[in-house]
Amino acid sequence: MSLPRIGVFDSGVGGLTVLRAMSAQFPAHYFYFGDTARLPYGTKSAETVARYASGAARFLESQNIDLLVIACNSATALALPQIQQAVKVPVVGVVEPGAATASAISSSRSAVVIATEATVSSHAYREALNRYGMAAHEMACPLLVPLVEEGWIDHPVTEQVARIYLGEAFAAASDQADVLVLACTHYPLLAPLLRRITPEHVAIVDSAESTSQAVRQLLQDSECHPERSEDTLATERSRRPPLDPSIPPTDHRTFRFFVTDSTDKFKRLATRFLGRQVDHVEHVDLGG
């Protein structure tokens, strides 16, 4: 059976933590699209985010992907239904998997969620956790993303900022929260630091890792219950655009990267987020 072709979309580089988690768990042909010319999505209206994200989703679908992962909390929170309507392939966002994992491990049925201001304002995680019968206290942590992108992963300043945020969040939680949900795809890079300063009884849920597990399960389910004949699949494969020969496979994993702004800046940040050298990035222009 041929490897799945998985599209991964984010407004920038944070979604690379989702790609990193997936590529560590299972082989696939991965197509990553970062809408770097139009970030951040968090300051834009839901209508604008839906338009941008739907255009990116259609671009990835043109690469004949089997599955689309919205590795962007803002896009998932603000525009997941519109994205699902824009493409014909299955779509997985980052919110539901994170909430499901938190519910599975929580005893107190209470969680603290840290995220960007846009994700907190959408209350997407709170609503998702509420559906699982959990209470959620959301905390916006706007300083963490620029600190991560600056490379200050284990810097004393970053630790002090995180201590202030988490101190306020757990103090404000209405009851004894026993789960911390990292609801921003930049935050997994801070996981070791956050583990040091989070109360010992609190489990940490990485939404990137949770999303990877959800995608893996979806792929396994589709193998067990195929909906298309082998002849249909063979025809689809013959029509697929070729993989880029300049990017060598890594243990049966291949990667293509697309961005809408500077490829050089993306390469610098991508190596940090993905944990491997990124040498080849393609620029695309989706227009307005």
Alpha carbon separation from 158 to 101, 138, 181 (Å, rounded): 26, 20, 18
Rounded mean pLDDT, 41-66: 93
What's the chain's average pLDDT?
89
| Contact call for residues 116 and 142 (beta carbons, < 8 A) | yes
Q: Which residues of the chain does CATH 3.40.50.1860 include?
A: 5-93+210-283, 95-207
How far is residue 250's CA from residue 243's CA, in Å, rounded to a whole number?
13
Rounded mean pLDDT, 143-164: 96
- Residues with catalytic function: 72, 184
pLDDT at 40: 87
Note the CATH architecture for domain 95-207: 3-Layer(aba) Sandwich (3.40)
Rounded mean pLDDT, 264-287: 92
In sequence order, what E strands does 156-230 have?
A: 179-182, 203-206
Query: Minimum mean pLDDT among 133-142, 168-177, 246-255, 268-277: which range?
Result: 246-255
How far is residue 187's CA from residue 94's CA, in Å, rounded to a whole number?
13
Peptide bond preceding 249: is omega within 30 degrees of 0, i.e. cis? Answer: no
Which top CATH class is 5-93+210-283?
Answer: alpha beta
pLDDT surpasses 90 at 234: no
Rounded mean pLDDT, 118-123: 92
